[in-house]
Amino acid sequence: MQKTIKKAVGVSGVGLHTGCEVSLELLPAPVDTGIVFRRLDLQGFQIEAQRRWVSRVVLATTLMKRGVMLSTVEHLLSAIYGSGIDNIFIDIDSLEVPILDGSSLPFVEMLEKSGIEEQESERKLLVVEKTIRLEEKEKFISIEPHPSFRISYEIDFDHPAIGRQKLDLEMSPANYASEIAPARTFGFFAEVEDLLKKGLIRGGSFDNAVVLGDEGVMNGELRVPDEFVRHKVLDLIGDISLCGYHLAGHVKAYRAGHSLHTNLATEITRNRSFVRTVKESELLRVPAVVNQ
């Protein structure tokens, strides 16, 4: 069944790139609404969380509809999608979602505080029937047939604190909350000055990101040794949610980022010969497909 939250819940913080103070409130939404942002500072202008509104993917995922922008949406979308929610309104009074602690855990805790309830309409899923694969030089991302939602992600950074990390995880709300949500975004101290000159990370701090110096982490201990690849999975889930449906398929990624993530969401929604819309109750009755 489709799901929404039980009651409104809010938070305030600062935007990672704009540095602007922002307040955000999550509210229940009727069946078949999807995930919808409402810019309260612009008379409630609505921006649906859909791939067609993605305008920029540099260090964050930005939506733009009819000239109205909303930036750094991926952590919040990841929490909503990872928690199994279908319908929700997101009221926000500025142009960037607050970064909070750099993970999606605060958003998951907000959803849990509100409570999640089933609605009187069945969920539809996109079931992958043929493999979709995208490549960008040595990077790639793909999705192939699988009976549930699974992610296998690998990263490889030439840095002593990161190196090569892999994660393979069958996704569920419980797995998401414990294994993915706590992983924080990360960045390199050597790049800070250049990013500031470009008008980015104005709200960045040691409190909302894992900051890496030449030899290691500069601001405390990692939450888990492979926090970096877990955060990449977190970003992927937020970006893939822009396809507008919960998925049954196995995503595999190597050194991918927001661009490949959102491009995959586009291919999933455009190439309907590769996917099939199925009611949740029918999922177990879908016949096995040949991976082509």
For every residue of 103-122, DSSP letters joined together read: SSHHHHHHHHHH-EEE-SS-
Whether residues 244 and 160 fall in one domain: yes
Domain assignment present for residue 108? The answer is yes
Q: How far apart are CA 90 and CA 222, in angstroms?
A: 30
Range of the domain at 145: 124-285
Domain assignment present for residue 291? The answer is no
Final residue of a domain: which of 118, 134, 165?
Answer: 118
Whether residues 87 and 137 fall in one domain: no
Whether residues 150 and 277 fall in one domain: yes
Final residue of a domain: which of 118, 134, 152?
Answer: 118
Number of domains present in the structure of the chain: 2
Whether residues 20 and 112 fall in one domain: yes
Tens of pLDDT, residues 27-72: 999 999 999 999 999 999 999 999 999 998 888 899 999 999 999 9
Residues marked active site are found at 258
Task: Share the mean pLDDT of the chain.
Answer: 93
Give the start-end residues of each E strand in 29-176: 35-39, 45-48, 54-56, 62-65, 68-70, 88-92, 116-118, 124-128, 132-136, 139-144, 149-157, 163-170
pTM of the predicted protein model: 0.93
Whether residues 91 and 7 fall in one domain: yes
Tens of pLDDT, residues 276-292: 999 988 876 545 444 44
Domain assignment present for residue 292? The answer is no
pLDDT value of residue 285 = 58
